[in-house]
């Protein structure tokens, strides 16, 4: 008997250019899982989530397409993965409503990402507040078993697991309990400009991050200007040398070399030499992505998304009918 394939689901918000933090934390795993026969993989551009922060609708429309294009340039292949836009599959919003009725507000009040965003000045809204419920709906809709994400999504994943268990107890055993897949190193890549906060799309300072479509020259400049410290020894010490420690983690995750071997090689050679090596490693890692990006045209991306939405709706509708039946919203005979 052949074992049933496990389902992988993950998402990315089209809120800005995708960056190297997300690449090391999540997207690299997206591609690896696609190549593993043990999994059916589903990746989603979560445009409904992106609407929870202020945005310009014209720019947004372009961003959605660009994000899909970048996901394809990273190596996601529409023949092997299901790729689609969240807003084109209305079952996401329907399931989010149902799960919302099972979510205590006390749990949402403890969500650190919500609190961080409001502290940074993002207007608090019902959408921003219930962001994790929609995320749980994304994951549970297709009965995902495994969710490749960066460390910052841990709490949201925990909530998705709780909601799955809560639903199963209250109504019927419908959902598997999803597991997060978080890498051991580089699960939380820090900002190049302020290594005590995470690399992020929303930081107004573009020097905080390497975008996946940055040119080699821009990558070199950004790494050269990355904030470090005044003791020029390359060694890992998160407390006193957060900038160098971040670069060591990035270099280690990019090349597969251990932090010890990198510290041995670059220890006393000065920061300039080390930074050059980090920049060249990133440039080499992203070279195939840049090439693929140039080859992709918008019409082809749009076609892939249309086909993806059609397939995702068909599959979501089948799953969602089980949910409706379980909660008493089944067909009226």
Residues forming the site for ligand TYM (CB under 6 A): 9-13, 21-22, 25-26, 46, 49, 135, 138-139, 147, 149-150, 152-153, 156, 187-189, 198-199
Residue among 141 and 323 whose Cβ is closer to ligand TYM: 141
Residue among 228 and 246 whose Cβ is closer to ligand TYM: 246
Residue among 61 and 268 whose Cβ is closer to ligand TYM: 61
Closest separation in Å from C-beta 144 to ligand TYM:
8
Closest separation in Å from C-beta 55 to ligand TYM:
14
Residue among 46 and 282 whose Cβ is closer to ligand TYM: 46
Q: What's the per-residue H, E or C state across the chain?
A: CCCCCEEEEEEECCCCCCEHHHHHHHHHHHHHHHCCCCEEEEEEECHHHHCCCCCCHHHHHHHHHHHHHHHHHCCCCCCCEEEEEHHHCCHHHHHHHHHHCCCCHHHHHCCHHHHHHHHCCCCCCHHHHCHHHHHHHHHHHCCCCEEECCHHHHHHHHHHHHHHHHHHHHCCCCCCCCEEECCCCCCCCECCCCCCCECCCCCCCHHHCCECCCCHHHHHHHHHCCCCCCCCCCCCECCCEHHHHHHHHHHHHHHCCCHHHHHHHHCCCCHHHHHHHHHHHHHHHHHHHHHHHHHCCHHHHHHHHHHHHHHHHHHHHHHHHHHHHHHCCCCCC
| Active-site residue, from 117, 222, 241, 275 | 117
Residue among 64 and 188 whose Cβ is closer to ligand TYM: 188
| Active-site residue, from 69, 198, 222, 275 | 198
Return the biggest CA–CA distance within the chain.
Answer: 77
Closest separation in Å from C-beta 232 to ligand TYM:
26
For residue 254, give Cα distances in angstroms to 99, 142, 206, 286.
38, 31, 21, 10
Closest separation in Å from C-beta 279 to ligand TYM:
18
Closest separation in Å from C-beta 38 to ligand TYM:
19
Residue among 120 and 273 whose Cβ is closer to ligand TYM: 120
| Active-site residue, from 6, 80, 115, 201 | 201
Residue number with the smallest Cβ distance to ligand TYM: 25
User: Catalytic site residue 241?
Assistant: no
Closest separation in Å from C-beta 308 to ligand TYM:
16
User: Catalytic site residue 275?
Assistant: no
So which residues are the catalytic ones? 117, 198, 201
């Amino acid at each position: 008997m052949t074992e049933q394939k496990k389902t992988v689901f993950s998402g990315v918000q089209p809120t800005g250019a995708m960056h190297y933090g997300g690449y090391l934390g999540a997207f690299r795993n997206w591609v690896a899982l696609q190549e593993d026969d043990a999994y059916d993989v589903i990746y989603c551009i979560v445009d409904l989530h992106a609407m929870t922060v202020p945005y310009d609708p014209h720019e947004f429309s372009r961003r959605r397409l660009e994000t899909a294009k970048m996901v394809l340039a990273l190596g996601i292949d529409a023949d092997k993965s299901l790729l689609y836009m969240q807003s084109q599959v209305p079952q996401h919003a329907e399931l989010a409503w149902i799960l919302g009725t099972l979510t205590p507000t006390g749990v949402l009040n403890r969500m650190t990402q919500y609190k961080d965003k409001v502290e940074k000045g993002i207007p608090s809204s019902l959408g921003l507040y219930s962001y994790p419920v929609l995320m749980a709906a994304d994951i549970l809709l297709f009965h995902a078993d495994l969710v490749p994400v960066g460390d910052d999504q841990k709490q949201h994943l925990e909530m998705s697991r709780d909601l799955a268990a809560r639903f199963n107890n209250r109504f019927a055993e419908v959902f598997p309990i999803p597991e997060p897949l978080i890498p051991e190193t580089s699960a939380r890549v820090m900002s190049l400009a302020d290594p005590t906060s995470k690399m992020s799309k929303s930081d107004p300072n573009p020097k905080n991050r390497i975008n996946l479509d940055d040119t080699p020259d821009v990558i070199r400049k950004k790494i050269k200007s990355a904030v470090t410290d005044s003791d020029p020894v390359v060694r890992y010490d998160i407390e006193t040398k957060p900038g160098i420690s971040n670069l060591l983690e990035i270099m280690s995750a990019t090349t597969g070399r251990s932090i010890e071997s990198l510290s041995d090689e670059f220890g006393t050679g000065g920061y300039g030499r080390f930074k050059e090596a980090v920049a060249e490693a990133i440039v080499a890692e992203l070279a195939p992505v840049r090439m693929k990006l140039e080859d992709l045209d918008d019409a082809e991306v749009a076609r892939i998304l249309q086909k993806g939405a059609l397939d995702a709706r068909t599959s979501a509708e089948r799953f969602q009918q089980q949910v409706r039946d379980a909660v008493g919203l089944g067909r009226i005979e």
